Amino acid sequence: MLKLLLRSTLCLIMLLSVIGINALAAEGPSTAPQSPAYKILLFTKTEEYHHDSIPEAVAAIRQLGRQNGFAADVTEDASMFTDSGLAPYHAVVFLLTTGDVLNAQQEAAFERYIEAGNGYVGIHAASDTEYDWAWYGGLVGAYLKNHPDVQSANILIDDNTHPSTADLPQTWTRSDEWYNFRVNPRGSVHVLARIDEGTYSGGSMGVDHPVTWCNAYDGGRSWYTAGGHVKESYKDPQFLKHILGGIQYAAGVKFGDCSASVDRNYEKVILDSNLQEPVDLSVAPDGKIVYVERNGSIKIYNPTTETSLLAGNLKVSVTGDDGLMSAVLDPNYPSKPWLYLLYSPEGTESIYRVSRFNLTSDRVDMTSEKILLKVPIQRDDCCHGGGAMEFDSQGNLYIPIGDNTNPFESNGFAPLDERAGRAFKDSQRTAGNSNNLAGKILRIRPLDDGSYTVPDGNLFPKDGSMGKPEIYIMGVRNPFRVTVDSKNNWIFFSDVGPDANVDDPLRGPKGYDEWNLAKSPGNYGWPYCIANNQPYRDFDFGTKTSGELFSCEQPVNSSPNNTGVQALPPAQKAWIWYPYGKSTEFPQLDDGGGRTAMVGPIYTWKKELMSQIKFPSYYNQSLLIYDWSRNWIKTVKYDENGKIISILPFLPTFKWDHPISMKFGEDGALYMIEYGEGTKESNGKLVRVQYNAGVHNPVAVAKADKTNGATPLVVQFSSKGSFDPNGEELTYLWKYGSSSSTLPNPKFTFTKAGNYNATLTVTNRSGKTSNAIIPITVGNNAPVVTVTNPPEGGFFSWGEKVHYQVKVLDAEDGSTDNGKISCSLITVQSKLGHNEHSHQTGQHTGCSGEFDTILGDSELEDLFYIATFSFRDSGAKNVLPIRTTKEVILQPKRKQAEYYTSMSGVTVMELKDKSGGKNLGNIDDGDWIAFKPINLKNINSITFRVASGGLGGNISVRSDSLSNPELAKITVSKTESWQDYQEITVPIKDPGGTHELFFVFTLKNGAKGLFNLDWIQFNGPGISHS
């Protein structure tokens, strides 16, 4: 009864307090209030270090109260932390507190106080308080780890709209004691400001070092600043404004959006899955999403019905990087119901087409094609095709085209092979050629009759006297993505660069990817210059001799493959550039193995837009950039001159699956295509990333024990894995054809042949829904493709031929063994695997044959081969054909150790010797790495390149498990230094078949610092000669 009375009293006081706050807000600010409108409590108890600045801090905050309409009581007495003791206060300020300051009953009372909608302010040592109270750790945001001495540093403001930072300069310089925290709180809190570790000594958190943040926490409001150690802080007008804004936010007097960059306030909703190499999307004003797959499929997602359909299909050539590459709706859609596609048409003509099609009633009229532009290309060799097209506000269409040049015999540097018959390995033929449309970004203005004009202001004159008039940007390698700032029609584009790991004085700079800002037409340097205009050397590929450095200011194209002008426009420096590994210039760009720069959209916040899922105003005019290989997204803010203000993580705790295209919809949400694992063909997804400050959508997961088969077909469906992020109970609705079920895991018998979509809809108590779709084919069994050679995970040598043998069995069509299926219907593609993606290098047909392996950019890279074997059956009456694809991954005989598929304990480090690249270090007893798939057929020994400036140790090789019998073992002895490498060879047993191969590092229990490992080489014929 007493507890109920206290709770009722507390609620009444809270209600009266809220009424008081609302009255204050209605009256507006007062410079000389007659009486305080609300009260805060300054809590100054210390159990450990006691700051001598506490009296100055108390006096300064009380003065702020007198000037700004609040009263500040002060206490060191923790017994005030009861329901009734805290009830008079709108916020409690932990002012320079340290240690364990509350007992369990007091902690519970403070938790109830925050849950009731009140506020918390933490100043400086508040993060050095209550380390064993997990709830408080979430409230304060992060705990102190250590700190250097007091010194001056620059504070970088990330949110200039919050009341605590709105009046501060973009770069705020001040002296204080700067804390390093145990963890980076970003993603769990809304970061308002960071410290620039380059402006002081002793910072240990890196480029992203938050020092001020806020959070909507457990029903209340939390605000923290790391400043306030020194007495002088409390005489600094800017710091006092900073604290005042924090108090006003926490007390609920002034609004601050502290949910804007907190990951839990966003969700990723899967709209469609099992996509086959999806590459681009375009969002219609009515919310429908047009998205395309490289194989020619054009699909539309309808947000009203929450379903997708096939709207059309193009016949395309998928040689190399080609196929259907881009789709963009007319800027006046639907009044002009046109869809523009960039694709490589099937047939013998080696071109890309930019074509317009009619799109009405969710159907693409494939007979309505208007061909605007043909881009001549070559299909005899790879690589670097077309990218995603984009319109600007003037109706101009930007068309990115890669340099259509094979980079794989240039050792990761500029491909400049001028020898006869090698034109396809010379990017001067395309990117550096003013009379060639490849290696460019084109700009045209489509006309209503299906033709186009060249707008004013492109790079070359309209008469063609200096080059192709369609060219807006030249000198690019693989400009896969373009976006337009609609305010000024600046274009941002990403350019995927070459693969050299280290600089070479005889060739030029290592490889870089770029993001570029083009305010006007220009030449971006490739293949003569890269990054911030680092020049390559001319190189004779016949004699292997180096020439002079190219001029970035006055580049000259003297290649015999050039058909344009020789004197080219000056090369422009990249806006942002980064190599493999860590970037010195842009450390905000996380390392992560591969490297595939892509540019996303710019978000424009619309106050008048009534949408529950739109992104908040914090992201207004933020550009999204992302890396397809590294699976991260960043936000870039820039000023009116294009100068970068900040590069910050976007939803850093989210798991992305190789994002390849993204656009903001009219509803303010972000729509994205996740390509999926780059070596697979059918695990892409269409997703929506939405802002949900309230209840999240549930997640639907649909499974079936069979997805195809003869009639009748009995299918067991499962919703296992479906869940609600809020913990709410779910209801289930399955629909398949004209039938339905509300069971979570129903069984259904399909009695009529045809193609069906089994749709699972899950709904939570709040009415939020999510769908998952499983295509079901009834009346046709999927063909079975069996590859008898090469074995999955087998080893080859670069430049050798690989023999293949494959057969097909289909329940309806017959088999290749009995001759009812022709071997000519089997398609075999050979692909060079590179990090997370692949480049097709050959295409064949037949049940047997061979393909060539070529040499990639560098043996320092994560290179391998993929062979895909596919067959499409004949289908049946009223039933579509089914294609089955079998993929075989083949391994090069030398594997760089850092490209493991899994590991425990090791660290990837820069290799310091002349070979460049990376090695594994910090190897301790019990650490391990593993590779898969691995097949040791015809491998008889294994070589390790190792060095040890430490204890030395052992390497034990085992298959499939750390505890399985050893296949090989070596002892690594101590060398003169950590970079004094030796090569050790040992015989290895073949367990037969394909496995995961473990390399276990041992010495004695708990030993640390054993050795470094550079690479592992598998010796023997392997599969190339089998």
pLDDT digits (tens, 9 = 90+) for 87-104: 999 999 999 999 999 999
What CATH code is carried by the domain that includes residue 244?
Answer: 3.40.50.880
pLDDT in tens, 195-249: 999 999 999 999 999 999 999 999 999 999 999 999 999 999 999 999 999 999 9
Output the domain CATH number for residue 720.
2.60.40.10
If asked whether residues 898 and 859 sit together in one domain, one would say no
Residue 730 lies in a domain: yes
Residue % of the chain over a pLDDT of 90: 85
Question: Which one is predicted more confidently, 31 or 882?
Answer: 882
CA distances to 104, 705, 709, 874 from 713, rounded to whole Å, are 61, 11, 6, 19
Pairing of β 739-741 and β 731-736: antiparallel
HSE (side-chain half, CA atoms, 13 Å) at 910:
10
Last residue of a domain, one of 238, 258, 278: 258
Q: How many CB atoms lie within 10 A of CB 19?
A: 10
Strand order in the sheet with 266-275: 266-275, 684-691, 670-674, 659-664
Q: Write out the residue range of the structural domain in which residue 806 sits.
A: 784-892
Specify if 1025 maps to a domain: no
> Looking at residue 23, what is its pLDDT?
32
Same domain (yes/no): 644, 738: no
Same domain, 756 and 789: no
pLDDT over 90 at 367, yes or no: yes
User: If we measure between CA atoms, which residue out of 703, 727, 698 comes closest to residue 715?
Assistant: 703
Please write the tens of the pLDDT for every residue from 107-137: 999 999 999 999 999 999 999 999 999 999 9
Structure tokens belonging to residue 269 = 């909703």
> Are 805 and 767 found together in one domain?
no
Quickly tell me which residue has 């990837």 as its tokens.
Answer: 908
CATH of the domain at 406: 2.120.10.30
Do 103 and 78 form a contact (C-beta atoms < 8 A)? yes
Tell which phi-psi region holds residue 582, choosing left (phi > 0), alpha (psi between -120 and 50) or beta: beta
Could you tell me the two tokens for 495? 């350019």
How confident is the model over 628-634, as a mean pLDDT?
Answer: 96
Share of the chain above pLDDT 70, in %: 95
- CA distances 702 to 82, 650, 984, Å, are 49, 29, 50
Quick one: 29 and 156 in the same domain? yes
Look up the CATH number of the domain holding residue 794. Answer: 2.60.40
Q: Looking at the domain assignment, is residue 698 inside a domain?
A: no
Domain presence at residue 568: yes
Do residues 833 and 929 share a domain? no
Q: Can you spell out the DSSP letters for 240-278?
A: HHHHHHHHHHHTTSS----STT-GGGEEEEEEEEEESSE
1026 part of a folded domain: no
Looking at residues 171-186, what average pLDDT do you find?
Answer: 97
Q: What SS3 class is residue 70?
A: strand
Query: Which pLDDT value is given to residue 678?
Result: 57
- Cα angle value 327/329/334 (rounded, 5°): 150
Structure confidence at residue 843 (pLDDT)? 86
Query: For 33-77, what is each residue's pLDDT tens digit?
Result: 458 899 999 999 999 999 999 999 999 999 999 999 999 999 999
Distance CA 996, CA 959 (A): 6
Q: Which SS3 state, helix, strand or coil, does residue 466 take?
A: coil
pLDDT, tens digit, for every residue of 657-674? Answer: 999 999 999 999 999 999
Same-domain status, 213 and 333: no
CA–CA dist 625, 870 (Å, integer): 35
Q: How many domains does the chain have?
A: 5
Q: Are residues 955 and 971 in the same domain?
A: yes
Pairing of strands 848-852, 801-810: antiparallel
Kindly report, residue by residue over 5-30, the tens digit of the pLDDT.
333 333 333 333 333 333 333 333 33
Q: What pLDDT, in 10s, does the model give residues 423-455?
A: 999 999 999 999 999 999 999 999 999 999 999
Segment (H or E) for 239:
helix 237-250
- Last residue of a domain, which of 215, 238, 258? 258
pLDDT digits (tens, 9 = 90+) for 840-853: 788 899 999 999 88
Q: Which residues of 847-878 are buried (b: 16+ CB within 10 A; e: fewer)?
A: bebbbebbebbbbbbbbbbbbbbbbbbebbee
Is the CB of residue 792 less than 8 Å from the CB of residue 933? yes
pLDDT number for residue 859:
67
693 vs 761: CA distance, rounded Å: 23
User: Could you tell me if 236 and 281 lie in one domain?
Assistant: no
Residue 1008 has pLDDT above 90, yes or no: yes
Is residue 718 included in any domain, yes or no? yes
When pLDDT is averaged across residues 146-173 and rounded to a whole number, the result is: 97
Alpha helices in 611-654 (DSSP H): none
What is the tens place of the pLDDT at every residue in 921-957? Answer: 999 999 999 999 999 999 999 999 999 999 999 999 9
Short-list 157, 198, 292, CA closest to 618: 157
Size of the chain in residues: 1026
- Domain membership of residue 696 (yes or no) is no
Instruction: Tell me the β-bridge partners of 876.
Output: 879
pLDDT digits 0-9 by tens, 480-499: 999 999 999 999 999 999 98
Q: Is residue 304 part of a domain?
A: yes
Residues 762 and 621 in one domain: no
Mean pLDDT of the chain: 93
Question: Are 618 and 540 contained in the same domain?
Answer: yes
Q: How far apart are CA 444 and CA 395, in angstroms?
A: 9
Of the three residues 691, 714, 748, the one that is the final residue of a domain is 691
Structure token pair of residue 763: 């709904």
Is residue 877 domain-shared with residue 900, that is, in the same domain? no
Query: Distance between CA 664 and CA 792 in Å, rounded?
Result: 41
